[in-house]
Amino acid sequence: MAQVKRIRRNVSGIILLDKPLGFTSNAALQKVRWLLNAEKAGHTGSLDPLATGVLPLCFGEATKFSQYLLDSDKGYETLAQLGKTTTTADAEGEVLRERPVTVGRADIEAVLPNFRGQISQIPPMYSALKRDGQPLYKLARAGEVVEREPRSVTIARLELLAFEGDTARFAVDCSKGTYIRTLVEDIGEQLGCGAYVAQLRRTQAGPFSLAQTVTLEELEAVHAEGGNEAVDRFLMPSDSGLLDWPLLQFSEHSSFYWLNGQPVRAPDAPKFGMVRVQDHNGRFIGIGEVSEDGRIAPRRLIRSE
């Protein structure tokens, strides 16, 4: 008997998942996509299986705006294990070296200013960055080490929350592209004892915080009782990640032309930058950019949601 193709639903919005331990970001996405039976889905930046916390999942029309969440600042809490370094710079790797931990809280506090502000990081070999089409982690697993270009990142906040014995807990607010594993490893080297990430929890992703997230268990329980459509209540609007952008509301006339790719004028538009756009009914219809002549050029459109 031929297998019946599953007809997926056209649903749009963002679900803020508290990613569970041990899941890749894609595995978590596919699980929630199955619970929704959603046609189109994407996540907004990978978290390692070791990491938990805020993972915005985009569905349907919301996937058009996932890049802006990818580019957003992030917040983390991490537990650093002092005295050891590993192949992956976290608890999943093999121990490379052990050194005695002779530092105290004051020693840790003394090196933290070196890592605040704009700093340079060399991405770890165990990362998803690609070299000649191959992810670095695949090369690392094959025993290869290749040269990586340093990258500039910004650490807006780096605070020691707790220190006990050979572990230290930090809060980190940082720009996109920051590797917390590399940050912890570099701090460990400056302390002279080495360190790796024992735990990592993302507390913030752009405008979203842990307080807004839902767990996989909660989603599964709702699905078990009410099916796919019951999970819809966790969907946030597609522009939820852009609420700090200027908002313009077009007339019915302007909305028609704008949705057909034509730049239009808006009397209350800012002088430059990106804007969110609603139609005359208050429905989100996409994002635009203010051009030099003051018109709003459409960049990503939503025709129906």
Euclidean distance between CA atoms 300 and 240, whole angstroms? 15
Euclidean distance between CA atoms 1 and 3, whole angstroms? 6
E runs forming strands in 41-124: 41-43, 51-59, 74-82, 84-86, 95-98, 117-121
Region of 109 (left: φ > 0; alpha: ψ -120 to 50; beta: rest) is: alpha
293 counts as catalytic: no
Per-residue b or e along 273-290, where b marks 16 or more CB atoms closer than 10 Å to that residue's CB: ebbbbbbeeeebbbbbeb
Integer CA distances (angstroms), 172 to 99, 111, 231, in order: 25, 15, 32
Whether 77 contacts 52, CB under 8 Å:
no
- Burial of 199: CB neighbours in 10 Å, binned 0-12, 13-18, 19+: middle
Quickly tell me which residue has 């990081």 as its tokens.
121
- Burial of 13: CB neighbours in 10 Å, binned 0-12, 13-18, 19+: buried
Whether 248 contacts 269, CB under 8 Å:
yes
Catalytic residue among 18, 48, 186, 279: 48
User: Could you list the active site residues?
Assistant: 48
